[in-house]
Amino acid sequence: MFSVNICEQPLDIAALTTAFPRSAEDTGAVATFTGFVRGDGISALALEHYPGMTEQSILDTVHSAARRWPVQAVQVVHRVGELSAGDPIVWLAVGSSHRAAAFSACEFIMDYLKVSAPLWKRERDAAGRWYWVDAKDSDENRARRWGRSATA
């Protein structure tokens, strides 16, 4: 089962983790990642997206991960709207028979999510000014190590 959910509601990490589908017979590992809004000099973060396109782009990345590693289930939940420092912004879980595949697929999906998912970010600084945020060079470099693109 692969799913992508873009939402404005706060994330309930415990409920997401409990509900993540796994097989008692086949799932040997579930790797999860929770990303939070950092407060590095910002008072808020706002994310916009194009419904349908965003979900499909992330799902394409999930399918690419499934071609590279034997994953059984992947779930991505990403917030949009205005968030405050400390708010969970993304939750990702990957289930597989073995931990190495779960860890690698989880990292791969997050690396590409940071640089290629059609999510547009603005930060509000302490003075109340909004400005657009581009992907960081360090995030671009991390994604490059996997190859050409998230869907290759």
- Which CATH number do you get for residue 112? 3.90.1170.40
Q: Tell whether 152 is covered by a domain.
A: no
Confidence at residue 150, expressed as pLDDT on a 0 to 100 scale: 57
Confidence at residue 40, expressed as pLDDT on a 0 to 100 scale: 83
Please state, rounded to an integer, the average pLDDT across all residues of the chain: 92
Q: Tell whether 60 is covered by a domain.
A: yes
Q: Tell whether 67 is covered by a domain.
A: yes
What confidence category does residue 142 fall into, taking pLDDT thresholds of 50, 70 and 90?
confident
pLDDT at 149 over 80: no
Asked if residue 111 lies in contact with residue 142, where contact means CB atoms within 8 angstroms, the answer is yes
Indicate the pTM of the whole model.
Answer: 0.91
Percent of the chain having pLDDT more than 90?
73
Q: How many domains does the chain have?
A: 1
pLDDT at 20 over 60: yes
Q: Tell whether 18 is covered by a domain.
A: no
Confidence at residue 152, expressed as pLDDT on a 0 to 100 scale: 55
Q: Tell whether 17 is covered by a domain.
A: no
Q: Tell whether 150 is covered by a domain.
A: no
Where does residue 91 fall: left (phi above 0), alpha (psi -120 to 50 degrees), or beta otherwise?
Answer: beta
Where does residue 103 fall: left (phi above 0), alpha (psi -120 to 50 degrees), or beta otherwise?
Answer: alpha
Mean pLDDT over 109-120 rounds to: 92
Domain hosting residue 89, numbered range: 2-10+28-143
What confidence category does residue 148 fall into, taking pLDDT thresholds of 50, 70 and 90?
low
Q: Tell whether 110 is covered by a domain.
A: yes
**49-107 pLDDT tens trace:** 999 999 999 999 999 999 999 999 999 999 999 999 999 999 999 999 999 999 999 99
Q: Tell whether 42 is covered by a domain.
A: yes
Please report, as a single letter, which amino acid is at residue 10. P
